[in-house]
Every structure is written in C-alpha cells, then in structure tokens.
Amino acid sequence: MKRMLVAAALAACVGPVFADTFHDSALVLSVRPVTERTPVNREECWSEHRRGYEERTVTRQDNGAPIGAATVLGAIAGGVLGHQVGGGHGKDAATVGGAVVGGLVGNQIDRDQGNVVPPSQSVEVERRPVTREVERCRTVQEVREVAVGYDVRYRYGNREFVTRLPYDPGRHVKVAVDVHIAEQGPPPPTYRR
C-alpha cells in the first residue's frame, strides 16, 4: 500500500516535468459548413417616367406704338399735302413722306393730350406637359444562409476526430499535440504458489 501511494505521488510530481507540447498537421477528411438563416435588408431602386405639368411665367411686352385719332388724321393730311406738292415721279415719294411726317406729328399730339396709353407689359402663366424621370426605392427583406462555422473531420495518427472551426481549414489542419506520461495504475498483482 505504501508503494502505491509513493508511486502516485511520484507520478503527480514527475508528470508535468516531462510534458511537452508541439504542433503538427493532420489530414482533413471532410468539411461541412454549418449555416443559419439570417434576415438581411437590401435597397432596391428603379427609374420611372412620370408625366406632369410645368408652370412657367411669361412676361410679354406690348411694343406696338399706340395709334389715336390725331395720328390717323395727321397721316391722311400729310399724304394729301405731299401729293399736291410733288410732281412727276416724285409725287409718290412726296405722298409717302407727307403721310409719315403727318402721322408722327399727329401721334405726338395724341400723347400730349393723353389720348393714348404708353406701352404696357402683360404677365401670363403657361402650363406645359413634361415627362420627368423619377427614381423610386424600397427596402426588401430577404433571408440568406450564412456560414457560422465548419464541422471538420480529420485524421491524426490512426484516429479520426471531429471539431467545429470558424473557418474552412483546407486540406490540412494544424493540431497541437500534448505529450506527457500517462498515469500508471498499481502494478499487476503477482500470485505465488
């Protein structure tokens, strides 16, 4: 009995002194991804053509010279006077010149008396049909299979092992080997005859 206690105490003390750890490579036999279904949001966008109206403000200027009664009478009187003054081929030119001068004088009389309104501006709103390209977007939720790990079956020595890793190790996996003295039990009993 004393021998067994001494051997156990010695094994406990001596064991860690002779322990050694090293790294080696083991052959991977199979890799199976472990997946989870995860909801993922993504944005989906497209373009549409929309018809509508565009309002534009247009300012129009009335640039026409106002015509009053004095302008008309002045042009007629100037034409008659010019026709009577001219002679031969100049008669036509004198008629036109007299009408223009008489019209200008009559127009000035109309303005001085306030019979004509000065040029004015008018503002109009125009609605025109237009087509615009509009971008529309929406959020779409879909479920994706996401790898959360890999179940790896590998062989080291003459034994097979299975472990789960966060990555795919490829054809070989690095293993840590811990070598130490195995605990020894009591020696087998001896029988005497």
Q: Read off the pLDDT of residues 90-142 as tens digits, 9 standing for 90 and up.
A: 777 777 788 888 878 887 887 777 766 666 667 777 888 888 898 999 999 99
Tokens coding 144: 């994706």
Residue 168 has pLDDT above 90, yes or no: yes
Q: What is the mean pLDDT of the chain?
A: 79
**pTM (2 d.p.):** 0.37
User: Helix %, strand %, coil % for the chain, to 5?
Assistant: 30, 50, 20
Percent of the chain beyond pLDDT 70? 80
Strand 121-156: give its sheet, edge to edge. 159-165, 121-156, 20-61, 172-179
The stretch 132-161 carries a mean pLDDT of 92
The stretch 155-182 carries a mean pLDDT of 91
Q: Give the pLDDT band of residue 174 (cuts 50, 70, 90).
A: very high
Q: Give the pLDDT band of residue 18 (cuts 50, 70, 90).
A: low
Tokens coding 91: 């008669």
**What are the CA-CA distances from residue 11 to residues 14, 133, 141, 142, 182 (Å)?**
5, 84, 62, 60, 9
Residue 166 has pLDDT above 90, yes or no: yes
Cα separation of 162 and 165, whole Å?
Answer: 10
Nearest to 177 by CA among 152, 190, 150, 159: 159
Per the CB < 8 A criterion, the answer to whether 123 and 58 are in contact is yes
The stretch 154-166 carries a mean pLDDT of 94
Residue 64 has pLDDT above 70, yes or no: no
Per-residue burial over 160-191, b = 16 or more CB atoms within 10 Å of its CB, e = otherwise = eeeeeeeeeeeeebeeeeeeeeeeeeeeeeee
- Ordered by start, the domain boundaries in the chain are 65-118
Secondary structure of 85-96 as H, E, C letters: HCCCCHHHHHHH
Q: Give the pLDDT band of residue 33 (cuts 50, 70, 90).
A: very high
Tokens coding 155: 């062989």
Residue 83 has pLDDT above 50, yes or no: yes
Residue 5 has pLDDT above 50, yes or no: no
Which has more confidence, 86 or 40? 40
